[in-house]
Amino acid sequence: MALSILASCRDDRLPEGDGRTRALAAGRRIYEKKCASCHAMTGDGKTVSASRFPYANLVDGKWRSDGTAGSIEQQIRKGHDPMPKFEGKLTDQEIRDTAAYVLELSRRRAR
């Protein structure tokens, strides 16, 4: 009971984030676990396993497709040799969040 009284007296609340911020944070966590080994943490694709593939670089503005969120989602979902598909390995929401983060990586680099 004392804990509930103390908790109700606290003025500091957890920070609230908007949907975009939460999606980018989720996408970043997934990217770091599933994508960075090939695409690098920075997204530049400069890794031992992927540096020889031109589309491993996600921040140079050169996309295998049109570079929209939808096309990036499809790339993640279906894969394209040598990239494996993540459909069935990630949920639809995880794929959307990862695509949003990849777009954010490329936008940051363009600034």
Is residue 50 within 8 A of residue 56, CB to CB? The reply is yes
Number of independent structural domains in the chain: 1
Per-residue pLDDT tens, the chain, 111 aa: give them. 554 544 555 555 544 456 778 999 999 999 999 999 999 999 999 999 898 998 899 999 888 888 899 999 999 999 998 999 999 999 999 999 999 999 999 887 655
Q: Which residues pair with 45 in a beta bridge?
A: none
The radius of gyration of the chain's CA atoms, rounded to the nearest angstrom, is: 18
**Does a structural domain hold residue 9?**
no
Residue 12 lies in a domain: no
Domain that holds residue 100: 18-110
CATH number, domain containing residue 49: 1.10.760.10
Q: Is residue 6 assigned to a domain?
A: no
Q: Determine whether 56 is exposed, middle or buried from the number of CB atoms within 10 Å of its CB (0-12, 13-18, 19+).
A: buried
Whole-angstrom Cα distance, residue 78 to residue 40?
20
CA distance 17 to 22: 6
Q: Does residue 10 belong to any structural domain of this protein?
A: no
